[in-house]
Structure 1
Amino acid sequence: MTISTPVTTPTQDEVIGYIDSLSNWGRWGEDDRLGTLNLITPEARIRAAQLVKDGTVVSLSRNIDPDDADPLGTGLAVVQRFMGIGEAEHHMGKGTVRFDGVTEYVGIAAHGSNTHLDGLAHYSWDGKNYNGFGADQITSIGGSKALSVHHASDGIVTRGVLLDIPALHGVPWLQPSHAITPEELLAAEERQGVTVGSGDALLVHTGHAARTYAEGPNSPRNPNQPGLQAACLPFLRERDVAVIGGDAIQDVQPSGYGLDMLRPIHTVGLVALGLWLIDNMELTDLAAKVTETGRSEFFFAMLPWRMVGVTSSATNPIALF
């Protein structure tokens, strides 16, 4: 398949202009805290449920393993696990008990190699988060007062669509720093016979996880990753995507822009569109399933933790066929 190259790559000033031109601020009310999750209507969930045919489930998350805490080499994946063994006998006091229990404390750096959901307070621009909420409402002690992942308490249950970019090019994975263009997204739709629509969970397979496992991670000081180029932002807005996920961090790295726009998909997506992001998914098995069945759409479900005041949740999304 011939893939046309984009006429132009947006300049940094043009990408900054997306903050206004693609904005969803006020679209669902001045106090809205759901952003694009508003696009997942009851009707969208019903349509998604009708995609279930054989009950096959594919997990879209990798393990959270303290013994392998940073498999993708992000440099931010601290996992602490402290086990408490023998609590029953210790706390029961008198006599000897015949049962015992184990408890633990687990600490996770949520924005790291593990699969996680980015909430709308994760990024700000000019002192504002999504819908104009002030970034000053986030403090290290008080947490995020206005926007938090607990607002997604209904879960993210909708139609999922996988666009397989390596398969489009006939390769097992994209090379580091491959910038995915809107033209490639359109070509993948055409090849797979699917169209991304309103309220969808769009998953973009780059093969980054598979390449990393095969060849080893990049240094955190040189975080080259395939991902979406900023030119894809109008596509995401026009299609009214509810959530976007990938097996890297959405943004191609390096992005080609300065420090102000180091990650334009994150910055414009979260702040202007109110678009929730799922970073570092495990999409290898899902891509194989799509190839095997020829089905690029499926029932998608993800139930983030109802944690108040935080900007991320570790999560285990699933695709149900």
Structure 2
Amino acid sequence: MQETNEVPEFSALPFKPGDPPYSAWGLYGDDDQLGTLNRLKDELVVKTAREEIQTGVRISLNWPLDAQSKPGFGRQVFHKNVYQKAPRIVNDDVWTFNTQSSSQWDGLRHFAYQKEQKFFNGVTLDDIQSEKKPGINGIHAWAERGIVGRGVLLDFHSWRLANNIHYDPFKTGSITLEQLTAVAEEQGTQIKFGDILIIRSGYINAFNRLSRDTAEAYALAVPPALSGVEQSEAMLEWIWSNFSAVAGDQPSFECWPTQKEWHLHEILLSGWGMPIGELFDLEKLSEHCKKAKRWSFFVTSEVCNVPGGVASPPNILAIF
């Protein structure tokens, strides 16, 4: 039995004439900056912790911040400067990096509706860049409560290998809703309302086996060609009806370039206020899920408290 879904039906979107396609602006108020994280109510978190934390095993889903050695997808890589504070034997360090060069949550300042040029709840680029509305839609809004709830791993990579299905993470292609529901069925994984969806496509598994030159060539391609979740109305309805956040191990959660006139990014981020996680390292998580024969777990993720930030490392753990 699915958990009670307290949100309007997908067919009701958008709520107001003139709002962008499939948007849910105003659902939690015109000034809301939590979007679908409003689904992670205190009582749901308590219930999830009681049900999902059984053994205390903790697994990080954070790819190293310096995992990519050269700029990829137009983003600066991680640099670390460790220096001694002479004459004492004391070290400090300075880090500089693009927040989307490794594991990340995309925040609500990241990807607007491209045609309408509006971010979540109608915020404009001028609102953000001129600070007419200081900090509006910044990543810091998620820091106070974190992204905490029941995570489910749909291990598409293991499923497709077992079923002899071809998939190339470095070419434009789609993981379909039919495939994802088949993965859940084969795993015996029940989807519950408010879940944090995590999809293992196999990207990082494949990336780790590439030579450095080949990996850098893929990362420098313009435009990048990537496989990910399909763009379809059925996929949108499934995500809207079930999840509080979505994530995967790909550089782009969705198929890239888009195969439609719209992107999942603009609808999820700017239409619904739903966090999109990318480049999560799911290899150890996959191994443990297979060993434990369970693909659900407690998730705790604390974004960096940067007022007006666009994205953030997830600082994420799966707890069994």
TM-score by length of 1: 0.82
| Residue in 1 that maps onto 2:244 | 242
| Residue in 2 that maps onto 1:123 | 111
Alpha-carbon distance in 2 for matches of 1:181, 1:60: 24
1:83 aligns with 2:94: no
What code does the residue aligned with 1:226 have?
Answer: S
Alpha-carbon distance in 2 for matches of 1:156, 1:140: 28
Report if aligned partners of 2:71, 2:77 keep a CA contact under 8 Å in 1: no
- Quickly say closer, same or farther: Cα 1:189–1:69, change in 2 above 3 A: closer
Residue 101 of structure 1 and its aligned partner are, at CA, apart by: 1.5
Residue 141 of structure 1 and its aligned partner are, at CA, apart by: 8.4
Report if aligned partners of 1:206, 1:247 keep a CA contact under 8 Å in 2: yes
Residue 195 of structure 1 and its aligned partner are, at CA, apart by: 2.5
What code does the residue aligned with 2:108 have?
Answer: L
Alpha-carbon distance in 1 for matches of 2:81, 2:132: 25
Task: Give ranges in structure 2 of 5+ residues lacking alignment.
Answer: 1-16
Deviation digits for residues 139-188 of structure 1 (CA, Å, limit 9, x no counterpart): 28899631111001211110000011122222598313330111112111
Report if aligned partners of 1:72, 1:209 keep a CA contact under 8 Å in 2: no
Aligned length: 286
1:189 aligns with 2:184: yes
Report if aligned partners of 1:143, 1:310 keep a CA contact under 8 Å in 2: no
Deviation digits for residues 235-259 of structure 1 (CA, Å, limit 9, x no counterpart): 11122x111110012011232246x
Deviation digits for residues 47-99 of structure 1 (CA, Å, limit 9, x no counterpart): 2212111111111011112xx53479434242232233134x3xxxxxxxxx5
Alpha-carbon distance in 1 for matches of 2:300, 2:255: 26
1:132 aligned to which of 98, 108, 122: 122
Task: Give ranges in structure 1 of 5+ residues lacking alignment.
Answer: 1-16, 90-98
**Where do 4+ consecutive residues of structure 1 move more than 6 Å?**
140-144
Pick the structure with greater CA Rg: 1
Alpha-carbon distance in 2 for matches of 1:140, 1:187: 47
1:212 aligned to which of 199, 207, 211: 207
| Residue in 2 that maps onto 1:296 | 295
| Residue in 2 that maps onto 1:35 | 35
Alpha-carbon distance in 2 for matches of 1:142, 1:24: 23
Alpha-carbon distance in 1 for matches of 2:220, 2:253: 16
Residue 193 of structure 1 and its aligned partner are, at CA, apart by: 1.4
Alpha-carbon distance in 2 for matches of 1:143, 1:208: 38
Alpha-carbon distance in 2 for matches of 1:311, 1:143: 15
Task: Give the share of equivalent positions with the same residue, in percent.
Answer: 25
Report if aligned partners of 2:228, 2:255 keep a CA contact under 8 Å in 1: yes
- Secondary structure of 2:186's counterpart equals helix
Report if aligned partners of 2:146, 2:302 keep a CA contact under 8 Å in 1: yes
| Residue in 1 that maps onto 2:306 | 307
Report if aligned partners of 1:61, 1:115 keep a CA contact under 8 Å in 2: yes
Alpha-carbon distance in 1 for matches of 2:199, 2:310: 22
| Residue in 2 that maps onto 1:199 | 194
What code does the residue aligned with 1:138 have?
Answer: I
User: What is the root-mean-square deviation in Å for CA atoms of aligned residues?
Assistant: 2.4
- Quickly say closer, same or farther: Cα 1:141–1:27, change in 2 above 3 A: closer
Report if aligned partners of 2:70, 2:77 keep a CA contact under 8 Å in 1: no
| Residue in 2 that maps onto 1:159 | 150
Report if aligned partners of 1:180, 1:229 keep a CA contact under 8 Å in 2: yes
| Residue in 2 that maps onto 1:228 | 229
Residue 128 of structure 1 and its aligned partner are, at CA, apart by: 1.2
- Quickly say closer, same or farther: Cα 1:72–1:202, change in 2 above 3 A: farther
What code does the residue aligned with 1:187 have?
Answer: A
What code does the residue aligned with 1:311 have?
Answer: V
- Quickly say closer, same or farther: Cα 1:254–1:127, change in 2 above 3 A: closer
| Residue in 2 that maps onto 1:102 | 91
Deviation digits for residues 84-120 of structure 1 (CA, Å, limit 9, x no counterpart): 3134x3xxxxxxxxx52111221111122x1011111
Report if aligned partners of 1:207, 1:247 keep a CA contact under 8 Å in 2: yes
- Quickly say closer, same or farther: Cα 1:312–1:198, change in 2 above 3 A: same
